[in-house]
Structures are given as C-alpha cells and as structure tokens.
Amino acid sequence: MTITPPALSVFETLESEVRSYCRGWPAVFDRAQGSHLHDEDGHTYLDFFAGAGSLNYGHNNPVLKRALIDYIERDGITHGLDMATTAKRAFLETFENVILRPRDLPYKVMFPGPTGTNAVEAALKLARKVKGRESVVSFTNAFHGMSLGSLAVTGNAFKRAGAGIPLVHGTPMPFDNYFDGTVEDFLWFERLLEDQGSGLNKPAAVIVETVQGEGGINVARAEWLRALQDLCHRQDMLLIVDDIQMGCGRTGGFFSFEEAGITPDIVTLSKSISGYGMPMSLCLFKPELDVWEPGEHNGTFRGNNPAFVTATASLNTYWADGQMEKQTLARGEQVERALLAIADENAGAGVSFRGRGLVWGLEFADKDRATAVCRRAFELGMLLETSGPQSEVVKLLPALTISPDELDQGLRILARSVRETA
C-alpha cells in the first residue's frame, strides 16, 4: 500500500503544536467500522490501538449504533447534568444488575464528568476528604490524567513538567516487579509507613493500575495486588484502582482486579464504559465512603445521556453472560503465541513481551526499535502505538471484538514490521 501524505494544512496552520497522534499517523481518517479505519484517500487500516482502549467493542459497533440512533431520533435527553433521566436510570439499573450484583460489589456510582481525569480527581478528593490527609501514593510509571490532581500522581516527567507548578502531595512507590523480583514486595513502602521517623507523609490512599498501559504494559501479579490491598487495610489507607484503560473487559473480566479477588475502596472507569467511544466516566466507591455533600463535586457534561444509552446497550450485549471474558482470554492466548514466535525469531535482539487478556506489550532492548516497528506497521496498514517512559514498548490494544482472522492478520503485520526493522 502506498500512502500519499495528505494535505494537513488546517491541522498544521490552525491546530496547536500540542497535537501528537496525527504526527505519527499522517492520514486524514474519515470512517471506521469494527477493527478498521478508512482514510479519505480510500486506504484502510487495521486497528490495534482501539482509541487507546476506548473502543473495546470496535468502531461504531452496530448494536450500539442502532441504540444510539434510535435515542437521538426520538429526541431523548442529550445533556442532563445530574438530573434523573430514563436513560440514566436504565444505565444505573443495568450496571447494577449486569456488573455489580453478579460480582458482589457494593459500590455507589458517581458521574464525575465525561473523562477519565474527572473520575481520578473525584476519587482523590473523596479519599482525602474521608481520611483527612493530603498525601496519596502512586506507582512508578503510573498514568492517571492531565488535570493537576491526576497529574500529581502520574509518573511521566515530561507530562509532569507541563504542570508549571511543583506537583506535590503524591509520592511514588515501586510498581510490581520494578526491581525484577530482587527486592521483596512493598519492602520500602511498608517500612516507611511503620517507621515514625521515615519522613513519609501518611497517605490517605494508594492509587494503582493493575496493568500500566501508558507506563509500558507493566502487569501487576494478582498476589502483589492482594498484598497491596492487605497493606492498605493494615495501614488505614484507601485503595483506588484506576481501571480506566484496563477495565470494561480489557484483561478478561469486566474489572481488571477481579482476577486478583480484591475489592478496591474506590474504582475509576472511563474510556470503554460508553462502549461507543463517547465521553463518559464513573467513580465507584464503597457506600460508607459516600460522604459527598450534594454538588460538592460537579461538572457540565457528567450527564452525557447518549453515552448512557450506548453504555447500557454494551453491558446488555456483552456482559449478560461470561462469553466476552472467555473470548478475550482466548484471543489473548492467540496473541501470546504470536508474540512468543516473534520473540523466538528475534532471540538475541533483546525482545520480551508481557500482557493479560487483550493488552500486550512487546519490548525491545534497542529503545528506538518500538517506534520504528509502529512506523513500519502503519506503512503496512495497521495502527499500533508505543508506550513506556522511553516509548520502548509496542502496545497491542485491539478491540475485544476483533475476529481471530483480523487478529492473525495484525499479528503477522507486527511480525513483519519487527523483521523489517531489525
């Protein structure tokens, strides 16, 4: 496939220099369906990126699309703040029946605003309010968002520098396997908490991703997550799982923490919760933490009702039984086999991989290789992104609804891209 660089004029002249994805993927996209995007020049791209995890059910999923159009056609409420609406009620009832009750999760549901960072901000506020302490512990290579509260618990130095103020009240601790297993889990963290002379400001909460997506597909072991929950209980800290990228089935179960058998005090969801790529986020918490005053946190777009409609449809379609989880795990095994083959083929080049469900990372000893692989994959018609602090990891994030054939096709493009960038 030969791609003619499109005329990006208005993007270059009018849009801010802050734009980024459009630089790595120089095409003007027009339509999309399932696991494929189409640009205005007629090229088709296989999507192994899925809107950074916002399109778990594929682009413009037909079932959700039908529900969405019906809702719009019949003039359903579009913008609802936190007024009660029929669409919101349907979502809440479905979320309770399909997601919370079967998992025995006792959460209250808060609509904190339309995007992930709103949910993280709400979670941090609530934890601080409940515990009466300012400090929050996050982990190395964490990513929680760009507004100041979330950014203070995000690891990336480049993003942090954008704050323009010193980011305080957050302390990083080593994520699982940060020292390749040579140091006992939580050795440093627990010792600081127990030592009255350590200088650590006692945290209100710990915020963690079970799999760090932006941080380089770092997968926390189930026993590490359980030990973290234990530590939080022993030390009177709230456990916040940021499931914005890894929730909604990405790792298999609806919540990524189900596998570990833990029950976080607070959970944030966004990205794929609406199912259709529309802005929506949730903050879930144990009922005893629901100490909010009415309106203490608010936001204009916290009642994005069309998103509630597609969210409801996605839950009913994909989560009423255990099929989606099984399928994701099966697809994950397909990915794993392919990555193993790539690693074998490139033995000696320092290639390693890791993942869970349908999120996988392929890391190269040569830090620049991952970018080259993604560039080559784009030339070959596939969207693939890097992650990690030095963009050293190829991140595989296909839609959960991808077919085995599409998945196979993409994995072959990946293998070829690796080969051709050796």
Instruction: Pick the closer one to a copy of itself by CB: 72 or 365.
Output: 72
Query: Which residue carries 């949730």 as its tokens?
Result: 282
Task: Report residue 37 as tokens.
Answer: 């995007």
380 in Cβ contact with 146 (< 8 Å): no
382 in Cβ contact with 411 (< 8 Å): no
Q: Phi/psi of residue 351, each to 5°?
A: -100, 130
Q: Which residues on neighbouring strands pair with residue 34, listed in sequence order?
A: 59
As a whole number of angstroms, the distance between CA 29 and CA 40 comes to 6
Closest distance of CB 81 from a copy of itself, Å: 5
Closest distance of CB 14 from a copy of itself, Å: 5
Instruction: Pick the closer one to a copy of itself by CB: 87 or 351.
Output: 87
As a whole number of angstroms, the distance between CA 41 and CA 58 comes to 22
Closest distance of CB 268 from a copy of itself, Å: 12
Query: Which residue carries 């997506």 as its tokens?
Result: 213
Task: Report residue 60 as tokens.
Answer: 């413009």
Instruction: Pick the closer one to a copy of itself by CB: 299 or 336.
Output: 299
Instruction: Pick the closer one to a copy of itself by CB: 166 or 348.
Output: 166
As a whole number of angstroms, the distance between CA 120 and CA 391 comes to 24
Instruction: Return the ∠ at Cα 84 (arms to 82 and 86), rounded to 5°.
Output: 130
Closest distance of CB 380 from a copy of itself, Å: 18
Query: Which residue carries 């979320």 as its tokens?
Result: 95
Instruction: Return the ∠ at Cα 315 (arms to 312 and 321), rounded to 5°.
Output: 150
Closest distance of CB 228 from a copy of itself, Å: 17
Report the C-alpha dihedral over residues 358, 184, 159, 246, rounded to 10 degrees. Answer: 20
Instruction: Pick the closer one to a copy of itself by CB: 146 or 343.
Output: 146
Instruction: Pick the closer one to a copy of itself by CB: 389 or 409.
Output: 389
Instruction: Pick the closer one to a copy of itself by CB: 77 or 222.
Output: 77
CA distances to 114, 220, 266, 297, 298 from 294, rounded to whole Å, are 18, 36, 19, 8, 9
Task: Report residue 330 as tokens.
Answer: 């099966």
Closest distance of CB 82 from a copy of itself, Å: 5
Instruction: Pick the closer one to a copy of itself by CB: 46 or 244.
Output: 244
Closest distance of CB 98 from a copy of itself, Å: 13
Instruction: Pick the closer one to a copy of itself by CB: 181 or 348.
Output: 181
185 in Cβ contact with 177 (< 8 Å): no
Closest distance of CB 39 from a copy of itself, Å: 9
As a whole number of angstroms, the distance between CA 351 and CA 72 comes to 48
Closest distance of CB 160 from a copy of itself, Å: 7
269 three-state secondary structure = strand
Greatest Cα pair distance in the chain: 65
Closest distance of CB 278 from a copy of itself, Å: 7
37 three-state secondary structure = strand
